Amino acid sequence: MIKAGIIGATGYAGCELVRLLSAHPEAEIAAISSVSFEGKKLSEVYPSYIYLNDMVCENSDEVVSKSDVVFAALPHGLSQELAAKCKASGVKFIDLGADFRLESEDEYKEWYGGNFLDKGLHKEAVYGLPEFFREEIKGRDIIANPGCYTTCSPLALAPAVAKGLIEMKGIICNCASGVTGAGRKPNQGNHYPELNEGFHAYKVASHRHTPEIEQTLSKLSGEKVTLTFVPHLLPVNRGILATCYADLKEGVTYEQIRKAYEDFYKDEYFVRVLPDGMCADIHNIKYSNFCDISVHFDGRAKKLIACAAIDNMVKGAAGQAVQNMNIIFGLDEKTGLTIMPPAF
């Protein structure tokens, strides 16, 4: 059994890791930690886990010492030193935060205000979006697990980008996320009276996920991609819907677009390219590691409209992290992640 440790287990992504790993046939949770709730049982923080997981939150050093792999579900700026400790101890490290996602230190400084503490570790880190970078992930020690927007938007656009069917200028990613994406710590913006029956954009053209989406699409296209990213906050707990717009290259037909998506994802279990006439819907992927994609062709405006839906806590966080764990330990990457989404 793989011994898995979770640092930051009482946050939303952390407790979702607990839920998924508890049902994993090849892994067991060795230890958990939480700064806010050290010494408390996880079931005291989340009563739904009572008698199912009554583990006590320890400190991070204890978690590392007991684990084969450590998942860090922490805010940015807190994972680099942990990664170094894990590397020194021969422990695999999967970071659900942003510390290892950007390859450019200049971009990291610009968007996160920090520095690369150990440039060698950053060179070793692999970006963990399996559908694109599976071969690079295998057997690696440090995985930068993508976030929710940075998973959903590239998955929506990848086939058109990789096949050169769209222009690389003028791409727009218009995304809406459930409130769990804001984390467990409450603030005015996710206070119930402020959020309920509302729907608004935030951090317009200034969200930190922008350079990460551009980085992935630039790798797939072979040229620099600059896009417009506009996130919105949905008054629901879970889910992300990305609606992405791009100009088609001259002469590109819907049949070419459709074939590109079906071919690109034909062997990807977790990506479901929906039949013509269907639209991706967060209702249909809840609690699962699936990404549903619907492809739409605006012949009049000569645009591709690609919609993608994921559960931001699963494929957009904990589920993808478990998928990455499966890959680096040589397991079938579906292991522990094949649960069907509920129908209602």
What is the set of active-site residues?
A: 148
Distance CA 119, CA 302 (A): 44
Which of 244, 83, 57 has the alpha carbon at shortest distance from 156? 244
The answer to whether 20 touches 322, Cβ cutoff 8 Å, is yes
Nearest to 162 by CA among 242, 78, 263, 67: 263
Query: What are the strands, taking DSSP E only, across the chain?
Result: 2-7, 27-33, 57-58, 69-72, 92-95, 126-127, 142-144, 169-177, 200-201, 226-233, 240-247, 271-273, 291-298, 303-310
- 14's tokens: 């952390």
N-to-C CA span, the chain: 34
Q: In the β-sheet with 200-201, what is the strand arrangement from edge to edge? A: 200-201, 226-233, 169-177, 240-247, 303-310, 291-298, 271-273
**Phi (first) and psi of residue 85, to 5 degrees:** -65, -45
Say which residues have a Cβ less than 8 Å from residue 203's Cβ, sequence separation at least 6: 231
Please identify which residue in the block is written with the tokens 């931001």: 312
4 beta partners: 29, 69
The DSSP call for residue 188 is: G
In the block, which residue shows the tokens 């709730």? 37
DSSP letter string over 13-50?
Answer: HHHHHHHHHTT-TTEEEEEEE-STTTTSBHHHH-GGGT
The phi and psi torsions of 104 (rounded to 5 degrees) equal -90, 120
Who's near 193: CB < 8 A, 6+ residues apart?
A: none
Q: Fill in the amino acid letter for 315.
A: K
